[in-house]
Chains A and B, each alone.
Chain A
């Protein structure tokens, strides 16, 4: 019996030791699908040029990575076959030119591209389509020196957009910050409303109040508003802000109802907790053995 016990004791200690040291699991929990692409075989290798290797950790911090978007979704190519990963026949387009970045990102972000190019048509590099009225786009296409998407949002380390992307460091590079400041002021109140709504919906979701409809309405309102900003037309933003504010205020009304329900549930559970606390104490005092 003692030997048996000693054996079990040893097994337990061994399990402890192994448990504390063993770092990688046995493949039963696999890597996320977005990591299983062949592009990483070269681009994450130590022998890769630093400029091409650094894109991998940058991409892993991005909102694209979090949503399962991998290299091929933007650059093309076959991600499951290293021989075809950079094959033009399989859609590989390589790195876009400075002026071609808008079309490159606009493959998915079509509404933003439309706002950048006010005529709605995609331009060739010589502006062969409808005339552009967007000052940033005009500067970019005529002089080759205006801002493109990457200027503000980055290339691989793209994070979720917010109003503080409008700042003196970014916008003051080409012209005085005064113009950007006016735009930021026009957007400020509405953007703050959006931020507050996002925070409130998160709180409601944590409290298990149904929020998916409100989340979708907020998302499309926010995207539409952000798209409006990309016209870089302060007057248009100022004119149309009221309509967006009305939508957001209506949403805030719904959110308030959600909070009422959340507080009701919390108070109800708290009330039950207090009753049982009181009942426990009263019953204990009633039935305990008298000294």
Chain B
């Protein structure tokens, strides 16, 4: 075994970087390891999504007459097609959960402060890219759920006075309702552009500021063992859901082919979009609702440049703590309201 390793190392020079980032990756003892491991879990979740996505591409057909049927074929006829599709569906929800937790803990711990502002900004764009991937992927099964959720969401930009209609047209690929052109466009985004953007942003998020990472070789806690537990928990959650609640993220309308002439009783976006959607419903003017959201997103992206205080411990900053708790509570309340 070690002879093989030596053979590889002479030719690739990878032994040292692997050792540094694996067993050699140690962090200060006062770091909250549970939060720190979310980085690795998020990375593993992305890799799982990419692999299962490519696997699904073998049988999925991105045309409106065949899309729904091809997904049915994957689920019912292709051996273990159900496994890969369910890993992809459950995995996407787990990915969003992990990314949101990672973002929340990074905020809480003040990880965005100097000199890590750039990491936060790249991370903000990563979150937006993950959301865009979720949105574009949602349409691909071409079910009633897909069709009408995307109809509602692509209708949102029309609130803008001049450019709104063009944005909606650009998203849908046609000037009318969601159609085959939208499906092809979303497929190109989901399978081509957005994954490349994701990888680029990952490099900017973690690779470029690599010199700022923890690099203690002696002393400190090794991260790899706790990371292994965290990744194992991720897979345990995924396979428990697949074993006992396979239909958790696939409600009734997900099994009905899209019918542009029949609006379902209740159209609701997926859980991670419910809070922004509730804000839209609560604010009387549609334009104001979207404007508020855009302002919030801009604040979110530029946060490290707005909060210049050097104090990293949020418990010593009561006002910041209050803002943090109020935002989390508001998000949870709005998400629950959007569900019932």
Contacts and interface: CB of A to CB of B under 8 A. Distances in A.
A9 B226 CA distance: 35
Contact of A22 (B82, B282, B329): B282
A273 B246 contact: no
A9 B221 contact: no
A131 B265 CA distance: 46
Contacts of B23: 287
Interface in A262-291: 265-270, 272-273, 276-277, 279-281, 283-284, 286-289
B83 A268 contact: yes
A161 interface: no
A12 interface: yes
Contacts of B265: 32
Given A1-B306, A208-B247, A287 B228 contact: yes
A207 interface: yes
Given A270-B243, A272-B235, A288 B330 contact: no
A266 B228 CA distance: 25
Given A279-B232, A280-B231, A26 B323 contact: no
B197 interface: no
A280 B243 contact: no
A26 B309 contact: no
Contacts of B225: 283-284, 286-289
B307 interface: yes
Given A19-B278, A283-B228, A287-B225, A269 B327 contact: no
Contacts of B82: 208, 265
Contact of A276 (B152, B224, B232, B309): B232
Interface string B261-303: 0010111100000000011111010000000000000010000
Main secondary structure of the interface of B (DSSP, over half): helix
A12 B323 CA distance: 7
B174 interface: no
B319 A2 contact: yes
Interface residues of A, number: 45
A32 B337 CA distance: 19
Interface string A192-210: 0000000000000111101
Given A4-B306, A283-B228, A287-B225, A207 B330 contact: no
B76 A210 contact: yes
A28 B228 contact: no
Main secondary structure of the interface of A (DSSP, over half): helix
Interface string A14-43: 011011101001101100110000000000
B326 A33 contact: no
A66 B250 CA distance: 21
Given A19-B330, A265-B246, A287-B225, A273 B322 contact: no
B232 A277 contact: yes
B308 interface: yes
A48 interface: no
B278 to A, nearest CB: 7
A19 B282 contact: yes
A70 to B, nearest CB: 14
A269 B326 contact: no
Contacts of A268: 83
A250 interface: no
Given A1-B306, A12-B323, A208-B75, A280 B228 contact: yes
A289 B221 contact: yes
Interface of A: 1-2, 4-6, 8-9, 12-13, 15-16, 18-20, 22, 25-26, 28-29, 32-33, 205-208, 210, 265-270, 272-273, 276-277, 279-281, 283-284, 286-289
Given A269-B243, A286-B225, 18 more contacts: A1-B306, A6-B319, A19-B330, A20-B333, A28-B281, A29-B266, A208-B82, A208-B246, A269-B239, A270-B239, A272-B235, A276-B232, A276-B236, A277-B232, A280-B235, A284-B229, A287-B224, A288-B225
Identify the 4 closest CB pairs spanning chains A and B, nearest first. A280-B232, A12-B326, A269-B243, A273-B239
10 contacts: A2-B319, A5-B320, A12-B323, A15-B279, A208-B246, A272-B239, A279-B232, A280-B235, A283-B228, A287-B224
